[in-house]
Chains A and B, each alone.
Chain A
């Protein structure tokens, strides 16, 4: 007879149930469906073609057709663009957010902290779509920026600010900024300020204190922010749709197009799964790295 697990352990399983249900229902199940569909083929009217005998289908190698297609240079170019744009977005967000978060968490008067944090969160009250439209009004030929530049006599004709990589990057950075500021704030707020004083006391100038104390001590927040910004940037399609031109299609647009326009669900699923797998692989690699370094940062 097998011994029953102790009561506390059983209670533990029971309490974890909602987590497992949520994860299973909203994450694992859709991903599995996606994964299965990605091996299928598109029917003439956008549905799924019956595969006939499973073994014949597998032996024919047709099930890998979508993945093979995704390696075509035109798609690889899209992936590459998505990656570098996500990287630039993440780096810019980090560089811009750190001083902001530092100011709110450390330098600002404590009673003003909530107000400043509120200001960071306020944009969420408006739909992201509308805020992205707003950028069109700012960047377009007769937009705010161009009118200002021309009125100030800095430029003679309007600049082409919209429908290019630059506009997409602006949109991405703008949209992701709060997701970097908030985790950085959470980390910086916990920072023991006497450590900064100790560093100064030991002779470290401010820049050294930043690199040797502040940054390492807030690494969990930095990692969280990087993940929270990089992953959504990689799958973005609204920003590139509205602010980007024909040449700035991103992986997100590719997937969205396959589902909504081209009605090729299997190919869309394959690309979506590739993207998910790439992100998971990155996170896994990071988890391995921190584990080997004996640190327990976040994952």
Chain B
């Protein structure tokens, strides 16, 4: 990864009256990376993006793009371009005119405009659509025109505000892969806003998970998924299995936890430390990392929790089990459907089983901000 940041955000705050939509955010976005701002609606991700684009002015803080201060520079003088959620194509202009719209302001000679437009449209596979008007295009085609229009200006940073939100599921998946591919081949920094964690994981190099105007966790996409730092992030990434425990001892990063529901878990390396003996903590294990067994495996060093099967949902690729422990805590287990359907399942609803997991998959999370999503 190149070292100098493409976008540096320091202490950025935007208040609307009493409410801080973005609250003291600091981020470094690296050159050429695919960076996602992920969070539920109202978390401030779009406001943050709009401040980078220059459509909102921050109440406090600064934004530097390629080393130059851009905090109060109007949008038309920033080396960034945006793909709007609604695409914002100009309905009175053709595809070609839409894509060519900004070229004259970037000092592209008139003679080169045609080539730039053709190249951009080829990039998004829309050659041949030059003379159409936006209303004559499908949603996916419009989205690509919006992309071509922004890319034609060869921006240093491309901002994308939930650009796939209006597309159907199947098309979305295709476009995700195409976008990622495009970003890699062009080497432009992409800042992508989405509320869809799967979308963020599919495309991003790094992800910042936002909640209530703040960044809860910023990390590589896989780490955000596998090692959530807070309860909110864990919840948002769909790892809603929380285990209450007490720290028995903590030596050299090794932590021994005593489960409230009984049993002991030893974590070899735990984030969120340091821990004190006697402290109450919560840790999380992702649903696909949990396992249902017919017998107690604690004697073999595998944490096992006696649970009652509450529900079972068949989902084709996997089966979702909903179980409850003695303390009435609810857990979700994903099981891959590997066996033939006819063999039936091992457990019946209402029956008893043991919830097992590998301690390596347990992640201690900080409390707070644990909003459902």
Contact = CB atoms under 8 A, between A and B. Distances in A.
Contacts, number: 60
A115 interface: no
A123 B53 CA distance: 43
B92 A216 contact: yes
A194 B150 CA distance: 14
B75 A201 contact: yes
B84 interface: yes
Contact of B76 (A194, A195, A205): A205
A97 B81 CA distance: 33
B82 A201 contact: yes
Interface string B150-168: 1001000000000000000
B90 A195 contact: yes
A204 B76 contact: yes
A195 B106 CA distance: 19
Nearest to A200: B75
A199 interface: yes
Interface in B67-101: 74-77, 80-82, 84, 86, 88-92, 101
Given A197-B84, A201-B53, A201-B75, A213 B102 contact: no
A217 interface: yes
Dominant SS among interface residues on chain B? loop
Dominant SS among interface residues on chain A? helix
B344 to A, nearest CB: 54
Interface in A194-246: 194-195, 197-205, 208, 212-213, 216-217
Given A192-B86, A195-B88, A201 B105 contact: no
Contact of A194 (B75, B81, B88, B149): B88
A202 B81 contact: yes
A202 B84 contact: no
B129 interface: no
B243 interface: no
Contacts of A216: 92
Nearest to B105: A203
Contacts of B91: 217
B53 A217 contact: no
Contact of A200 (B76, B149, B153): B76
B275 interface: no
B92 A202 contact: no
Interface of B: 53-55, 74-77, 80-82, 84, 86, 88-92, 101-102, 105-106, 149-150, 153
5 contacts: A194-B84, A199-B90, A202-B102, A203-B77, A204-B102
Interface of A: 192, 194-195, 197-205, 208, 212-213, 216-217
